[in-house]
Structure 1
Amino acid sequence: MRGSALHRCPGPADPVGWLRLPQAAQTLLAALSEVGRPLVVGGTVRDALLREVGRSVPDVGPPDVDVELHGAGGPEAVATVLRATGAVVVLAGATFPVCKVVLDGTHLDVAVVPGPVPDDDALHAAVASSARQRDVTLNAVAWDAVRNELLDAVGGIDDARAGVLRHASVRFGDDPLRVLRLVRFVARYGCTVHPDTIALARTLSDRWDSVAHERLWPELRRLTEGDEQSAALAVLHATDWERHLPELAAVRDVPQDPVWHPEGPVHVHAGLAADAAARACRAAGVTPARRVVVVLAALLHDVGKAGDGTQRVVGEDGSVRIRSLGHEVSGALAATALLRRLGAPRAVVQEVAVLVREHMVAHSTTGAPPSVPAARRLLRRLGGSLDTAEAWALVCEADSQGRGPAASRSPAWAWLEVIAGDQVAGRRERLVTGRDLLDAGLEPGPSFRALLAEAADAQDDGVFDDVSAARHWLAARLAERAADPD
């Protein structure tokens, strides 16, 4: 690592605009400046540095502002000052007290550093010590709100200019989860990772089991915030952390038919598809909650091609084709297993699995739009939700765009147009229900469920389209069953 001599440089001419501080954050910083030396640290400064050098910084919602407050006395006194602004303040932490502050929807975490008001030398020494405890150098630059100075002890400003993610010190290894955070930063900012940091991360791979299970899903969820998914996957592999996601690791270097996939093996396609899904979600203004589902489904849509999911088929002329029959079904099972182990919410797991299972349907028609019955059946398999149908179309489009030189527009959009029409989405209500079967004297059981499924198929196929016709159909089917109980 480089030395830790503190580098000081003048702050920006318009620090509020440079940092993009909300008005509430400015109010709180002004109050803190009256009682101590507040330093803005972490993501707010990092993002400003990256924007300054022209890097794209995705907008993922209102920023949380992290502050180190020096020389202000105890946390109770600080909380009193903050509450005087109208903010809601909750004290947290015993060894390292933090005031968690909310004002007008803006969140601040104020770490109260014990001790008297420091002189410049003491403050700078504290900044250097704090910087070495952070994960990467980009997160270790502080902005002094009183002096309008940038304080950098570990070279974070130079790394921002170079677009490099580098560990702030060997203390990076204190928390192995920082490797996944590193991968997330790659996805979000498209930065490269310094080789020394890759090497350090590899030494932490065996400590996967030491990470509390409940901490895994938040990192994976936030990984989907970034548009550079394939770059993040490359770092996950380079750091040897990919092996802890075995369903994903299993598709690395699995071949694909070059006619359909000239981009290369499955892991390349998965990364390109996830990139396309992320960009499409950004362009369409998809909400963060929906983006998680779409990006994960695009990333995992072909995990069923691992192992026996891919076969080489030799033709009579000796030509070799690569096929992956049924990979959408096995892929749904693999995606479910992976996401459950990572602690994903049940609703996310179920929807991603459905999207993976159905992603090949769009390729069943070429040219002509799908029939209304086919669209009805697909919508039913998608759970009857138009939101899920829209997510499905985005995943299918990402699949089509993730094929390198063979990229094309997905036929899923023609399906979605039919699904969203009056004949499909406008007639989603089931006309034969379980109540109808109970009223007819049937007992719940396998035959009960089979009859409901048959009724749903009949409705989707247009055999009946209103309640009266549905009742006639049910009466006829019950009469047939009575005449032939076997």
Structure 2
Amino acid sequence: MNVYLVGGAVRDRLLNRPISDRDWVVVGSSGEDMIQAGYRPVGKDFPVFLHPQTHEEYALARTERKVAAGYAGFSFDAHANVTLQEDLQRRDLTINAMAEDQQGNLIDPYGGHADLQAGVLRHVSLAFTEDPVRILRTARFAARFDFQIAPETMTLMRTMVDNGEVNALVPERVWQELSRGLMEAHPARMIETLRACGALAILLPEVDALFGVPQRAEYHPEIDAGIHTLMTLNYAAQHQYTLTERYAALLHDVGKAKTPTTLLPRHHGHDLAGIELVKAVNTRWHVPKHCAQLALLVCAYHIRIHAVSQLRPATVLTILHKTDAWRRPDRFASLLRVCIADARGRLHKEKTDYPQQDHWLNLLLAARNIDTAMLASTISDPQQLATSIDQARLSSITPLQNAYRQHHSETH
């Protein structure tokens, strides 16, 4: 039995990055040998075993053969005569196809170290085209390392898209890769990579449609609605936003592709125009509820959040109701954070003031501070109680809102 450290752990050590987990390949062994040595089998599709002490994954060296469309359409050969080089050859990118022996010697048959130093993502072999998930993985690694895609690899990715391989992806794998890519340091690079190979138009046509849509230059010096979306997403990443917030940032403006444009596009109503589009994305990729809900709220309300100085107190109260800010103040705070990313995700606007955040939080605090227990002790009818609570909340926010509107009109 020969054991080798493989994949991400080798890559990250060469990059001097933290190693979160280690994967091992075993050459010259069988499943029976592994079990007799105390390893516990866990793999369903191919032999993977957990080490009896460290619980790290040890996989038998294997080759694979494409037998059907999609991610699961492979048969595997994990016999003891499979070599390390054959196992590494089936991997996606050269930077992930390196190994170390037990003495720490680097084994790099496909030039992964050179590509790592050059900042290039390159496929190992033509087997890359057999697994559509590798398009998403390559885009995710571009988002992680900000590496360039080798031209020949981009060509293969475009061929896969043209051949319909992307259509065979299952929602769970798409969301897994998209969500991980959104949490990388440069998530816009994932979107750019998917767009460059044509996959974005299939996976997220709502986002793809934003590119080339003009915006009014006085508000958006970057002009292009797709570029603005990427800038908003990058701002969210630079400021350590959560996955829920980054996903909402990605979809916040999808309605702009559906609103009429002129030489001076106003995109009036793009907030409401985007709601059904966000719902479609949420459904298509089985997006978790917490992400789906915030994306809908941001799409529907970000324009009115920005324009709070123009709202009547009653409208403010309605927005706080419809966003369920009373019961979900943390989610409302996330909505405001995405609105900040939207405001600052513009060319030369990265440090613009956003007083709306503090004002909305003050409005919410004032409305939540009313004595609902006292009202409940004196009013027994539920409908009358709800009306009285609304009246009390409105009374508490009206002075704040009127003062804010007055200040805004005087300073503008």
Please give the TM-score of this superposition, normalised by the length of structure 1: 0.69
Match in the other structure for 1:147: 103
Match in the other structure for 1:254: 213
Give the whole-Å Cα distance in 1 for the aligned partners of 2:109 and 2:199: 29
Return closer, same or farther for 1:148/1:297 CA change in 2, 3 Å cut-off. Answer: same
Residues 41-78 of structure 1: CA distance to partner in whole angstroms, max 9, x if unpaired?
12212222233xxxxx6x7xx8232110223x443543
Residues 160-200 of structure 1: CA distance to partner in whole angstroms, max 9, x if unpaired?
00111011111001101110111111111111111111110
Aligned pair 1:173/2:129, yes or no? yes
Aligned partner (choices 268, 273, 294) of residue 330 of structure 1 = 273
Residues 316-360 of structure 1: CA distance to partner in whole angstroms, max 9, x if unpaired?
xxxx53201121122232112112101212332122111221212
Match in the other structure for 1:217: 175
Matches within 5 A, 1:449-468: 457-462=390-395
Q: Which amino acid aligns with 1:143?
A: E
Aligned pair 1:305/2:305, yes or no? no
Query: Which structure 1 segments of 5+ residues have no match?
Result: 1-35, 52-56, 84-88, 115-122, 313-319, 443-447, 465-486
Residues 234-270 of structure 1: CA distance to partner in whole angstroms, max 9, x if unpaired?
2111101011121111111100000000012100000
Return closer, same or farther for 1:257/1:41 CA change in 2, 3 Å cut-off. Answer: same
Matches within 5 A, 1:297-446: 297-307=248-258, 309-312=259-262, 321-365=264-308, 377-384=318-325, 385-407=328-350, 408-418=352-362, 421=365, 423-426=366-369, 440=381
Aligned pair 1:195/2:151, yes or no? yes
User: Does structure 2 conserve the Cα–Cα contact (< 8 Å) formed by 1:298 and 1:399?
Assistant: yes
User: Does structure 2 conserve the Cα–Cα contact (< 8 Å) formed by 1:99 and 1:109?
Assistant: yes
Aligned partner (choices 288, 292, 298) of residue 243 of structure 2 = 292
Match in the other structure for 2:186: 228
Aligned pair 1:110/2:54, yes or no? no
CA-CA distance at 1:394 after TM superposition: 1.7
Q: CA RMSD in A?
A: 3.3
Deviates more, 1:175-184 or 1:407-416: 407-416
Aligned identity (percent) is 28
User: Does structure 1 conserve the Cα–Cα contact (< 8 Å) formed by 2:27 and 2:84?
Assistant: no
Please give the TM-score of this superposition, normalised by the length of structure 2: 0.80
Match in the other structure for 1:98: 48
User: Does structure 2 conserve the Cα–Cα contact (< 8 Å) formed by 1:280 and 1:394?
Assistant: no
CA-CA distance at 1:415 after TM superposition: 3.1
Return closer, same or farther for 1:259/1:132 CA change in 2, 3 Å cut-off. Answer: same
| Structure with the greater alpha carbon radius of gyration | 1
Residues 192-230 of structure 1: CA distance to partner in whole angstroms, max 9, x if unpaired?
111111110001112222223332111111111112122
Give the whole-Å Cα distance in 1 for the aligned partners of 2:218 and 2:147: 33
Give the whole-Å Cα distance in 1 for the aligned partners of 2:236 and 2:323: 19
Return closer, same or farther for 1:427/1:149 CA change in 2, 3 Å cut-off. Answer: farther
Q: Which amino acid aligns with 1:225?
A: M
Return closer, same or farther for 1:357/1:74 CA change in 2, 3 Å cut-off. Answer: same
CA-CA distance at 1:383 after TM superposition: 2.2
Give the whole-Å Cα distance in 2 for the aligned partners of 1:332 and 1:102: 51
